[in-house]
């Protein structure tokens, strides 16, 4: 079983600061007023988890495609447009202390470039790291992580089985 959560939701929120965090949640809630505010807050949290993972584990995840939903990518775009705050987030607040560049690419397009087998290996490489940093996936995370939802809903893996996945060897 994955270890206990080491990075809390409050710690992630503090990466942005209260003002920017509130602004981001408000902006995306205004775009989808029918979505519960807690759902939008979770989207922001999962975006910050993504950025935290990429920053902390640059050696293992740098340049890899991590399959998050489009809404998470849109939150990342919004943060990038807050150029000063984004630079501070990347270079001073995230654990890797380096600027995280962005490149949009659809999962279907990505699968064609390295090949399906490599795409799956790379997609699975980050799951143990996520569980190590934030604890096991819960139902609230499923709508935001494409591969985790696929493993759970289509492949029938329980959230516990997903949390117990071993890291793939780096090739």
Domain spans of the chain, in order of start: 9-163
Residue 60 is predicted with a pLDDT of: 87
Residue 63 is predicted with a pLDDT of: 75
- Residue 145 has φ and ψ, to the nearest 5°, of -120, 105
- From first to last of its 171 residues, the chain has per-residue pLDDT tens of 444 558 999 999 999 999 999 999 999 999 999 999 999 999 999 999 999 999 999 998 877 777 789 999 999 999 999 999 999 999 999 999 999 987 665 555 555 566 667 767 777 788 999 999 999 999 999 999 988 998 999 999 999 999 998 876 655
Residue 86 is predicted with a pLDDT of: 97
pTM of the model: 0.87
68 bridge partner residues = 145
Residue 96 is predicted with a pLDDT of: 95
Q: Go through the chain and tell me how many residues it has.
A: 171
Find all residues with CB under 8 Å of 35, minimum gap 6, and list them: 29
In tens, the pLDDT along 25-56 reads 999 999 999 999 999 999 999 999 999 999 99
Task: Give, as one character, the DSSP assignment of residue 145.
Answer: B
Residue 1 is predicted with a pLDDT of: 43
Q: What percent of the chain has pLDDT over 90?
A: 68
Residue 66, CA atoms < 13 Å, CB-side half-sphere: 27
Residue 127 is predicted with a pLDDT of: 92
Residue 166 is predicted with a pLDDT of: 81
């Amino acid at each position: 079983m994955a270890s206990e959560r080491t990075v809390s939701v409050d710690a992630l929120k503090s990466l942005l600061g209260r003002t920017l965090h509130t602004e981001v949640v408000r902006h995306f809630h205004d775009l989808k007023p029918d979505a519960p505010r807690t759902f939008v807050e979770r989207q922001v949290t999962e975006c910050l988890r993504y950025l935290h993972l990429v920053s902390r584990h640059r050696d293992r995840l740098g340049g890899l495609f991590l399959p998050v939903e489009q809404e998470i990518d849109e939150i990342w775009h919004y943060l990038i447009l807050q150029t000063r705050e984004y630079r501070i987030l990347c270079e001073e607040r995230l654990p890797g202390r380096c600027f995280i560049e962005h490149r949009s690419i659809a999962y279907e397009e990505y699968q064609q470039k390295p090949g399906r087998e490599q795409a799956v290996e790379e997609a699975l490489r980050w799951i143990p790291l996520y569980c190590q940093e934030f604890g096991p996936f819960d139902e609230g995370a499923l709508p935001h992580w494409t591969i985790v939802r696929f493993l759970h809903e289509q492949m029938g893996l329980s959230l516990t089985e997903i949390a117990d996945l071993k890291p793939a060897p780096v090739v």
